[in-house]
């Protein structure tokens, strides 16, 4: 069945993140990608100076109303970076108004990293994000975001018991399944933990020291594409991790491409993996 995803997040016109990442990756997975931009930026904020920014929060209700008139619905939803508590409430309304029966809600609570909230976010934003997470079929946090959402102290060094406590707490909030990213028990490796139906599964892969902007969006987009093609959660998490690593590997060594990863160069790998395992 040919399916359609709605992804809701900002557009950074240059920078290979958010919607400019989600659209090509989801499309390459063989899924129609519809977009709802929450804001438009000339570039992303990670290293560019003097970027422009236009908030589109007040456009969201009118867009949703038009879709209602047209009878437009979606088979899945994927939310990324959202800029305010008001925006989150609008997004919750949209997810509840435009889903086909069984439509999956996949939430990337993009709000924090390295033990800190992103600039401009506060405790009120975290509480609002909890409400969106509570309605999610699958939530895709990193360790920092999981800590803020659950109130469990953030740790840079941790064990499996700590990770399991985060996962169980996220499910108690309401998320049906969790894919926790950036879980590293050893310095030379990292990975993702999938918690679904009371079961934990860890996929470990090599850790690349060089960080790249936008890899969280690359990972989430590939995961969403795989899930929507009928691939089970753990296998989708694995495919997305391997694809993200290839994107980083294909970018290392090019100093001019500091602002993101060359995701296009690894799309053939992603397409092959999806087509081999899709139902």
Name 66's Cβ contacts closer than 8 Å, sequence gap at least 6: none
One DSSP character per residue, 217-255 reads HHHHHHHHHHHHTT--HHHHHHHHHHHHHHHHHTTTT-T
Mean pLDDT score of the chain: 95
CATH topology for 4-272 is 3.40.1190
Domain limits, the chain: 4-272
Calpha distance 267→262 (Å, rounded): 10
pLDDT, one tens digit per residue, over 97-120 is 999 999 999 999 999 999 999 988
Whether 206 shows a pLDDT value over 90: the answer reads no
pTM of the predicted model, to two decimals? 0.96
Tell me what the mean pLDDT of segment 67-86 comes to. 97
Whether 279 shows a pLDDT value over 80: the answer reads no
Which residue's structure tokens are 């060089």? 210
Q: What's the pLDDT score for residue 208?
A: 81
- Is residue 183 very low, low, confident or very high in pLDDT (cuts 50, 70, 90)? very high
CB 19 within 8 Å of CB 82:
no
- Is residue 210 very low, low, confident or very high in pLDDT (cuts 50, 70, 90)? low
Q: Which helix or strand (DSSP H or E) is residue 138 part of?
A: strand 138-139
Enter the tokens of residue 177. Answer: 């399944």
pLDDT, one tens digit per residue, over 29-51 is 999 999 999 999 999 988 899 99
Calpha distance 63→268 (Å, rounded): 34
Calpha distance 242→205 (Å, rounded): 8
């Amino acid at each position: 069945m040919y399916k359609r995803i709605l992804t809701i997040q900002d557009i950074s016109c240059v920078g290979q993140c958010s919607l400019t990442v989600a659209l090509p990756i989801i499309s390459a997975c063989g899924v129609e990608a519809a977009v709802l931009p929450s804001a438009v930026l000339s570039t992303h904020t990670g290293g560019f100076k003097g970027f422009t920014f236009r908030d589109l929060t007040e456009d969201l209700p009118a867009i949703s109303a038009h879709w209602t008139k047209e009878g437009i619905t979606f088979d899945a939803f994927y939310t990324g970076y959202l800029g305010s508590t008001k925006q989150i409430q609008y997004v919750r309304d949209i997810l509840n108004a435009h889903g086909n029966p069984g439509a999956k809600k996949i939430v990337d609570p993009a709000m924090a990293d390295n033990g800190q909230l992103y600039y401009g976010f506060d405790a009120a934003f975290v509480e609002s994000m909890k409400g969106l997470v509570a309605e999610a079929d699958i939530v895709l946090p990193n360790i920092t975001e999981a800590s803020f959402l659950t109130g469990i102290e953030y740790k840079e060094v941790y064990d499996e018991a700590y990770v399991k406590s985060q996962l169980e707490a996220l499910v108690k909030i309401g998320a049906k399944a969790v894919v926790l990213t950036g879980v590293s028990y050893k310095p030379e490796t990292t990975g993702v933990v999938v918690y679904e139906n009371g079961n934990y599964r860890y996929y470990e892969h090599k850790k690349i020291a060089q960080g790249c902007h936008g890899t969280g969006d690359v990972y989430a987009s590939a995961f969403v594409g795989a899930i929507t093609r009928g691939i089970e959660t753990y296998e989708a998490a694995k495919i997305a991790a391997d694809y993200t690593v290839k994107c980083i590997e294909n970018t290392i060594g090019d100093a001019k491409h500091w602002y993101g990863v060359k995701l296009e160069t690894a799309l053939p790998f992603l397409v092959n993996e999806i087509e081999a395992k899709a139902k």
